[in-house]
Amino acid sequence: MIILGIETSCDETAVAVVEDGNIIKSNLISSQIKAHKRYGGVVPELASRMHAEKINSLIQKACEQADITLPDIDAIAVTEGPGLEGALLIGQAAAKTLSLTLGKPLIHVNHLWGHIYASMLATPRPQFPFICMLISGGHTQLLLIKNHFDATLLGQTRDDAVGESFDKISRRLGLGYPGGPIIEEEAKSGDPLKFTFPKAMLNIGLEFSFSGLKTAVIQEIMTLEKSGESIPVPDICASFQYTVAEIIQHKCLRASKENNCNTIVLSGGVSANQYLRQALEDMAAKNNLTVITPPLAYCTDNAAMIAVAAHYYHTHISTTHSQNFTVKPNLKVT
Ligand code: KG4
Ligand code: ZN
């Protein structure tokens, strides 16, 4: 079964062709980062306009690269939410038009399930049940994934998402957007123990709070600025990243013990962070747990994960798909 996936929830226009849920025939991403960079974050109107500009040529290119023509497609998958309303509408309009003209089913996919299903592209694939630590720009959630599209929310952030704190600290340091990869790079030459930052809510259940950590890092930067000292950017980045890793390790271990579940999946854009991946693997090795992360190319937003999730939905949940749906900017996993 060949599925064409379309993802336009934020600032990447993405189209992929995936066969049988695991053969990636093409996976194209047109990033808008350059355009949004000078504003320090995503400008919704600009995102919609750029999706509209790029979507048709990207669909064409994705088919060419996959060596297929439009009639070869068995189904179209599109992100229905969460995300920016106008941005989601562009992807959905393109997907609905394709579905109608080709007479092929249209499968709507929750972006968050897309991130979770990206882990099905890993070798080995996670087996149910597993704990999923979903860390992206907008979400920080610990989930128990019991079966296909069947999840229980174990805990989530009460304020900032992990990716959001990377982005805000990067912006405060004048390093640019998106902050995650830049901070990871800076941290490579820094001392993770140079500064001690707070690990809020570490011993309170499976909830998270990253706003206090972000504020503490920003306060440290302000204190250094006031004292006229030069800012040790790599040390700040390394100490911040180390603190995030400690929190994630601790909460994942607790979730695993409390739910008697020894597989942990790390997913979402922040799971592209090699330091975090390694930290979680080290914790898992000490505790006889298994950590599974999506291959790097499928951690941050992409359309392959949307097509993969659609494949599993179609094969395990339902082969009939309502066409009367619209975008859901605030969609949740559960
Ligand atoms: O999943 P994603 O691409 O988009 C959302 O659904 O939000 O995640 C984007 C987030 C951004 O906050 C970005 O800074 C962060 O993921 N990110 C990273 C890394 N790569 C992307 N954070 C830390 N380290 C990275 N290497
Ligand atoms: Zn995402």
152 CA to centre of ligand 2 in angstroms? 19
Tell which one of 300, 301, 306, 332 to mutate to probe ligand 1, the residue whose CB is within 8 A of the most ligand atoms.
300
Sign of CA dihedral 230, 234, 239, 243: positive
- Check: pTM over 0.75? Answer yes or no: yes
Q: What's the CA gap between 281 and 234, in Å, rounded? A: 23
> For residue 326, what pLDDT is reported?
94
User: Is 165:26 a contact under the CB 8 Å cutoff?
Assistant: no
232 CA to centre of ligand 2 in angstroms? 31
pLDDT in tens, 170-225: 999 999 989 999 999 999 999 999 999 999 999 989 999 999 999 999 999 999 99
Report, as an integer, the average pLDDT of 39-61. Answer: 95
Query: In this structure, what are the phi and psi dihedrals at residue 111, rounded to the nearest 5 degrees?
Result: -50, -35
pLDDT in tens, 115-166: 999 999 999 999 999 999 999 999 999 999 999 999 999 999 999 999 999 9
pLDDT in tens, 261-306: 999 999 999 999 999 999 999 999 999 999 999 999 999 999 999 9
Asked if the model's pLDDT at residue 40 lies above 80, the reply is no
112 CA to centre of ligand 2 in angstroms? 7
Query: Measuring from each residue's beta carbon to the nearest atom of ligand 1, which residues come in under 6 Å?
Result: 10, 136-138, 163, 166-167, 178-181, 184, 268-270, 272-273, 300-301
Amino acid identity at 179 = G
Give pairs for 96-104: CB < 8 Å, separation 24+. 96/323, 98/4, 98/59, 98/70, 98/73, 99/323, 102/70, 102/71, 102/73, 102/76, 104/73, 104/74, 104/75, 104/76
Tell which one of 11, 270, 305 to mutate to probe ligand 1, the residue whose CB is within 8 A of the most ligand atoms.
270
